[in-house]
Structure 1
């Protein structure tokens, strides 16, 4: 967590059969919903700063005019937040239970361990992540589609640039089709190995801000799969967790660990953002604005006075 903000979890409470069931459900928004209906349930990203609903293909700019080839369908942990496509409705009770399981049986134990690591009461971070609170913690079903050789060449085989997630903890159900890589401290990209029925855990910006940088947000990217896997769609199941909308993302200065490390604040003059302000602006700008080159393949933008880096 100090170096990469990244680890894997096994024995998380779902059997291989339950995990396979969720992956089957995850494909429904992509294989059983018409293109016309996808537009009906499209997320109002710019208007609301929310991904709830469909993020359709070609919304994000990747590089050299190349647009993304990934769709995702996002369901708030409050599954009644908005209406869902007809094909998905029979599965909403299972998705609701899946969200509860991720939140209470996986996320909360991880947050307790992280609080202990800061020498804080173990419910400190749990209190910021209430399952019933207003926020954008959600289940995400995500599918990458193969791209043309021309687009692969223009984008140097990068499907999503190196970035950090903007929430606190991302839970990814391990995928057999490779593509995910993390950036190590020595500047090299390393493949994330598939572990059957395991979870890949990424720390995000919100956790880095709350811990004053003590816990690092994972820098990760998605690239073209290896040659023997390129004919497959890459289906993903995620639980993106964020602190409640009203939480201020300021360092937990009461932590003895942060006091000893001197990690007590953001840059001078920067006011800590609320979670709602942070996630809305990060959502609206991602893949939509011109980034500023900062050298060595790093590009930057400013969100709520904080420098956000992208790794190209």
Structure 2
């Protein structure tokens, strides 16, 4: 598709990067341009292993998508929020109880955050096969670009990361790629999220937390870095640290499925969203994500054949005979989040819910 053929899109004015002195997490940077040689992949696999064991998050750079392409995708990401009315949003906001899939909006004030305060974020899910769902009228001219963006994330980024993770486990390089065909609805999708500022009263009631500390339900999450500081990760020292914006970088993290598949070796990373620093608090925060899961029928049991896992010891989250499939896990996580009653944990500031016999923790 030539540049001249692209439909016009309103420009989204992002906030300037914050000047606040924040305690940033020291995340590794993985240079995907070094994937071409076996030697380069071996070095990157070692770096990915260390990054996932240390923070569970890392940056990916030199991924092959230009800054101008990324800027346009952020412009497109704002369309379903700024150019679509509330009534049309509601017509695309049902949730499929069988799959846990939003068709396609999650509207504001749907989730309970804390102390009677409901969320102020809205998002839209777009399956990587854009023809599997309906779309608001304003977004339809951009569907070819969104589908191409999904293909890029899946083939150029996700598969590269999965190959590196497989190598880090001393598995065949395509071991994880093989279970990420993602042909079912909601197994891999683009998500655009827009966070809106909240009242001072709501900030006080929730201690400035916009989204409680949690893990993602899938295998790998790809976040396209944007300037509003709000994302924090929980370190092994139980301190929350900010994730710094890096221009045209990807922020990558592991989720629950990776935890299941590696027997707790690569744990789902605990992260949250909080109120931005003062110089960004009057701005909306627009996020562009690519969420991935294994194929829905994959049973979430460890790769027992991994020599690495055999050496370090495998600690499955549940017995193999009761392990959920990916579809079962994401359905329960999606249907319960923000709507089920959480119980206090023995850990301070932690609440729990039980899904398929597995304890899921939420961190305040």
Specify the TM-score bucket, using the shorter chain as the normaliser: over 0.9
5+ residue gaps, structure 2: 1-51
Aligned partner of 1:194 among 242, 245, 269: 245
Q: CA deviation at 1:305?
A: 1.3
Distance 1:48 1:107 in 2: 22
Aligned partner of 1:291 among 319, 325, 342: 342
Check conservation: 1:43, 1:53, Cα contact below 8 A.
yes
Q: CA deviation at 1:136?
A: 2.5
Distance 1:14 1:176 in 2: 18
5+ residue gaps, structure 1: none
Check conservation: 2:169, 2:308, Cα contact below 8 A.
yes
- After superposition, where does 1:267-286 map in structure 2 within 5 Å? 267-268=318-319, 271-286=322-337
User: How large is the Cα RMSD of the aligned pairs?
Assistant: 1.3
Aligned partner of 2:299 among 236, 248, 263: 248
Partner of residue 208, structure 1? 259
Check conservation: 1:179, 1:224, Cα contact below 8 A.
yes
1:55 and 2:106 aligned: yes
Q: Which moved more, 1:129-138 or 1:193-202?
A: 129-138
Partner of residue 259, structure 1? 310
Aligned partner of 1:67 among 104, 118, 130: 118
Distance 2:217 2:160 in 1: 20
Distance 1:107 1:288 in 2: 31
Aligned partner of 2:62 among 11, 18, 22: 11
Distance 1:254 1:264 in 2: 14
Aligned partner of 1:97 among 137, 142, 148: 148
SS of the counterpart of 2:159?
helix
SS of the counterpart of 1:238?
strand
Q: CA deviation at 1:3?
A: 2.9
Distance 1:193 1:218 in 2: 16
Partner of residue 356, structure 2? 304
User: What TM-score, normalized to structure 1?
Assistant: 0.97
1:21-78 deviations in whole A, cap 9, x for unaligned? Answer: 0000000000000000000111315464112400000000000000000000000111
Check conservation: 1:180, 1:221, Cα contact below 8 A.
yes
How many positions carry a matched residue from both structures? 312
Check conservation: 1:46, 1:284, Cα contact below 8 A.
yes
